Protein backbone atom coordinates (compact mmCIF):
# COMPACT_ATOMS: atom_id res chain seq x y z
CA UNK A 1 0.00 0.00 0.00
CA UNK A 2 1.26 3.43 -0.80
CA UNK A 3 1.61 5.91 2.02
CA UNK A 4 1.47 8.80 -0.39
CA UNK A 5 0.14 11.89 1.39
CA UNK A 6 -3.59 12.06 1.88
CA UNK A 7 -5.66 14.36 -0.19
CA UNK A 8 -6.75 17.78 0.62
CA UNK A 9 -9.71 19.11 -1.26
CA UNK A 10 -12.14 17.04 -3.28
CA UNK A 11 -12.19 15.58 -6.71
CA UNK A 12 -13.44 17.91 -9.36
CA UNK A 13 -12.92 18.61 -12.99
CA UNK A 14 -13.28 21.77 -14.94
CA UNK A 15 -16.09 21.38 -17.43
CA UNK A 16 -14.62 23.52 -20.12
CA UNK A 17 -11.63 22.60 -22.21
CA UNK A 18 -8.60 24.78 -21.70
CA UNK A 19 -7.52 27.30 -24.24
CA UNK A 20 -4.37 25.26 -24.30
CA UNK A 21 -2.17 27.15 -26.76
CA UNK A 22 -2.63 30.35 -24.78
CA UNK A 23 -1.98 29.05 -21.31
CA UNK A 24 1.49 29.31 -19.95
CA UNK A 25 3.47 28.63 -16.82
CA UNK A 26 6.05 31.20 -15.97
CA UNK A 27 9.47 29.66 -15.63
CA UNK A 28 12.01 30.80 -13.08
CA UNK A 29 13.74 32.80 -15.76
CA UNK A 30 10.64 34.95 -16.10
CA UNK A 31 9.90 33.70 -19.59
CA UNK A 32 6.63 31.97 -20.29
CA UNK A 33 6.76 28.26 -21.02
CA UNK A 34 4.08 27.59 -23.57
CA UNK A 35 1.76 24.74 -22.80
CA UNK A 36 0.65 22.94 -25.89
CA UNK A 37 -0.42 19.39 -25.06
CA UNK A 38 -1.42 17.28 -28.02
CA UNK A 39 -4.92 16.27 -27.00
CA UNK A 40 -7.37 14.34 -29.05
CA UNK A 41 -10.85 13.26 -27.97
CA UNK A 42 -9.11 10.65 -25.91
CA UNK A 43 -5.44 10.61 -25.01
CA UNK A 44 -3.28 7.66 -24.10
CA UNK A 45 -2.56 7.38 -20.42
CA UNK A 46 0.99 8.05 -19.31
CA UNK A 47 2.81 4.71 -19.13
CA UNK A 48 3.60 3.34 -15.69
CA UNK A 49 7.14 2.41 -14.70
CA UNK A 50 8.82 0.86 -11.71
CA UNK A 51 9.33 3.02 -8.64
CA UNK A 52 12.74 1.45 -8.16
CA UNK A 53 14.23 0.86 -4.74
CA UNK A 54 14.56 4.45 -3.54
CA UNK A 55 11.01 5.74 -3.05
CA UNK A 56 10.26 7.13 0.39
CA UNK A 57 6.74 8.06 1.54
CA UNK A 58 5.81 11.21 3.38
CA UNK A 59 7.98 13.59 1.41
CA UNK A 60 7.68 17.28 2.32
CA UNK A 61 5.24 19.47 0.42
CA UNK A 62 7.20 22.03 -1.58
CA UNK A 63 7.55 23.46 -5.08
CA UNK A 64 11.35 23.61 -5.03
CA UNK A 65 13.82 20.84 -4.30
CA UNK A 66 16.83 23.08 -4.93
CA UNK A 67 19.49 22.71 -2.25
CA UNK A 68 21.54 25.72 -1.21
CA UNK A 69 25.04 25.49 -2.59
CA UNK A 70 24.30 23.03 -5.36
CA UNK A 71 26.25 23.86 -8.48
CA UNK A 72 24.11 21.68 -10.70
CA UNK A 73 22.12 23.16 -13.54
CA UNK A 74 18.63 24.18 -12.50
CA UNK A 75 15.62 22.41 -13.93
CA UNK A 76 12.14 23.89 -14.05
CA UNK A 77 9.63 21.17 -14.85
CA UNK A 78 6.10 22.22 -15.65
CA UNK A 79 2.99 20.96 -17.40
CA UNK A 80 -0.54 19.72 -16.91
CA UNK A 81 -2.17 16.74 -15.29
CA UNK A 82 -4.95 15.70 -17.64
CA UNK A 83 -7.66 13.07 -17.84
CA UNK A 84 -7.81 10.75 -20.86
CA UNK A 85 -10.55 13.08 -22.13
CA UNK A 86 -8.00 15.88 -22.01
CA UNK A 87 -9.68 17.68 -19.11
CA UNK A 88 -7.44 19.24 -16.49
CA UNK A 89 -7.24 17.33 -13.23
CA UNK A 90 -7.51 19.91 -10.48
CA UNK A 91 -5.54 19.32 -7.28
CA UNK A 92 -3.70 16.29 -8.60
CA UNK A 93 -0.88 15.14 -6.35
CA UNK A 94 2.63 14.85 -7.77
CA UNK A 95 5.35 13.29 -5.63
CA UNK A 96 8.87 13.64 -7.12
CA UNK A 97 12.18 12.09 -6.19
CA UNK A 98 15.52 11.91 -7.96
CA UNK A 99 19.23 11.49 -7.27
CA UNK A 100 21.60 14.38 -6.67
CA UNK A 101 24.12 15.70 -9.18
CA UNK A 102 26.55 12.93 -8.19
CA UNK A 103 24.01 10.17 -8.81
CA UNK A 104 23.20 9.46 -5.16
CA UNK A 105 19.77 9.23 -3.55
CA UNK A 106 19.18 10.58 -0.07
CA UNK A 107 17.84 7.51 1.68
CA UNK A 108 17.90 9.01 5.16
CA UNK A 109 16.37 12.42 4.59
CA UNK A 110 14.41 14.18 1.90
CA UNK A 111 16.98 15.89 -0.31
CA UNK A 112 15.54 15.96 -3.83
CA UNK A 113 12.23 14.59 -2.64
CA UNK A 114 8.99 16.50 -2.42
CA UNK A 115 5.34 16.57 -3.35
CA UNK A 116 3.08 19.31 -4.64
CA UNK A 117 -0.43 19.75 -6.00
CA UNK A 118 -1.59 20.83 -9.41
CA UNK A 119 -3.70 23.98 -9.39
CA UNK A 120 -7.38 24.30 -10.32
CA UNK A 121 -6.43 24.19 -14.02
CA UNK A 122 -4.35 21.04 -13.59
CA UNK A 123 -1.06 22.91 -13.89
CA UNK A 124 2.01 22.00 -11.90
CA UNK A 125 5.50 23.48 -11.63
CA UNK A 126 8.58 22.10 -9.91
CA UNK A 127 11.97 23.71 -9.47
CA UNK A 128 14.87 21.37 -8.93
CA UNK A 129 18.28 20.50 -10.38
CA UNK A 130 19.29 18.34 -13.29
CA UNK A 131 19.96 14.99 -11.60
CA UNK A 132 23.16 13.08 -12.22
CA UNK A 133 23.48 9.56 -13.54
CA UNK A 134 24.22 6.37 -11.71
CA UNK A 135 25.43 3.02 -13.01
CA UNK A 136 22.98 1.16 -15.17
CA UNK A 137 20.51 3.99 -15.68
CA UNK A 138 20.10 6.95 -17.95
CA UNK A 139 19.26 10.34 -16.42
CA UNK A 140 15.71 10.29 -15.01
CA UNK A 141 13.25 11.67 -12.50
CA UNK A 142 10.81 9.50 -10.54
CA UNK A 143 7.25 10.62 -9.90
CA UNK A 144 3.94 9.41 -8.57
CA UNK A 145 0.85 11.20 -9.86
CA UNK A 146 -2.65 10.80 -8.50
CA UNK A 147 -5.92 12.50 -9.31
CA UNK A 148 -8.01 13.08 -6.19
CA UNK A 149 -9.49 9.71 -5.37
CA UNK A 150 -7.85 8.17 -8.42
CA UNK A 151 -5.29 5.44 -8.90
CA UNK A 152 -1.64 6.24 -8.32
CA UNK A 153 0.46 6.40 -11.46
CA UNK A 154 4.11 5.62 -10.75
CA UNK A 155 6.45 6.49 -13.58
CA UNK A 156 9.75 8.09 -14.60
CA UNK A 157 10.64 11.05 -16.82
CA UNK A 158 13.62 11.21 -19.15
CA UNK A 159 15.81 13.82 -20.79
CA UNK A 160 16.15 14.06 -24.56
CA UNK A 161 19.49 13.57 -26.25
CA UNK A 162 21.03 11.43 -23.53
CA UNK A 163 23.36 8.79 -24.94
CA UNK A 164 22.35 6.33 -22.25
CA UNK A 165 18.70 6.45 -23.33
CA UNK A 166 19.58 3.91 -26.01
CA UNK A 167 21.09 1.41 -23.60
CA UNK A 168 18.72 1.78 -20.61
CA UNK A 169 16.13 -0.98 -20.95
CA UNK A 170 13.66 0.90 -18.71
CA UNK A 171 13.74 4.04 -20.89
CA UNK A 172 10.63 4.78 -22.97
CA UNK A 173 10.53 7.58 -25.54
CA UNK A 174 6.94 8.48 -24.56
CA UNK A 175 8.24 9.54 -21.16
CA UNK A 176 10.82 11.96 -22.51
CA UNK A 177 10.36 15.57 -21.44
CA UNK A 178 10.58 18.47 -23.86
CA UNK A 179 13.55 20.44 -22.64
CA UNK A 180 14.81 23.87 -23.61
CA UNK A 181 18.23 24.89 -22.35
CA UNK A 182 18.84 28.48 -21.22
CA UNK A 183 22.46 28.85 -20.09
CA UNK A 184 22.54 27.14 -16.68
CA UNK A 185 18.82 26.40 -16.55
CA UNK A 186 16.68 23.93 -18.41
CA UNK A 187 12.95 24.42 -18.83
CA UNK A 188 11.21 21.08 -19.14
CA UNK A 189 7.68 20.26 -20.05
CA UNK A 190 5.67 17.09 -19.49
CA UNK A 191 1.91 16.53 -19.39
CA UNK A 192 0.63 13.56 -17.43
CA UNK A 193 -2.54 11.72 -18.47
CA UNK A 194 -4.02 9.80 -15.56
CA UNK A 195 -7.20 7.98 -14.71
CA UNK A 196 -9.27 10.27 -12.55
FE1 LIG B 1 16.23 6.16 -10.07
Check residues 43 and 178 and name the one with the higher pLDDT: 178
User: CB within 8 A of 191, min separation 6: which ones?
Assistant: 35, 37, 79, 80, 81, 82
Q: Running DSSP on this structure, what letter comes out for residue 173?
A: G
Share of the chain above pLDDT 90, in %: 72
> With the CA atoms of 134, 68, 145 and 143 taken in that order, what torsion angle do they form, in degrees rounded to the nearest 10?
0
- Residues 4-42 have pLDDT tens digits of 454 333 332 222 233 333 334 444 444 444 455 557 667
DSSP 43-75: -PPPPP----TT--SSPPB-SB-PPTT--SPEE
CA of 98 to the centre of ligand 1 (A): 6
Q: What is the pTM of this model?
A: 0.82
d(Cα 134, Cα 100) in Å, to the nearest integer?
A: 10
Nearest to 19 by CA among 7, 3, 35, 30: 35
Mean pLDDT estimate for the chain: 84
Mean pLDDT of 103-132: 97
- Position 101 pLDDT exceeds 80: yes
d(Cα 17, Cα 140) in Å, to the nearest integer?
A: 31
CA of 40 to the centre of ligand 1 (A): 31
CB 78 within 8 A of CB 27: yes
CA of 105 to the centre of ligand 1 (A): 8
pLDDT for 116: 98
d(Cα 126, Cα 24) in Å, to the nearest integer?
A: 14
CA of 118 to the centre of ligand 1 (A): 23
CA of 38 to the centre of ligand 1 (A): 28
pLDDT for 27: 42
178 forms beta bridges with: 189
CB 162 within 8 A of CB 138: yes
- Residues 75-89 have pLDDT tens digits of 999 999 999 998 999
- Residues 32-67 have pLDDT tens digits of 444 555 576 677 899 999 999 999 999 999 999 999
CA of 22 to the centre of ligand 1 (A): 34
**Which residues are in the CB-under-5-Å shell of ion ligand 1?**
52
CA of 119 to the centre of ligand 1 (A): 27
Amino acid sequence: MSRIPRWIGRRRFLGAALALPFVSIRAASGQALQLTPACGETTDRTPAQTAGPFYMPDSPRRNSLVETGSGADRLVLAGFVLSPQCKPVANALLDFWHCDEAGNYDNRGFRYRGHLFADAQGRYRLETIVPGEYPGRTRHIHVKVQAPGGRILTTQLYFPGESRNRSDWIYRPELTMRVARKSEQRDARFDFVVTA
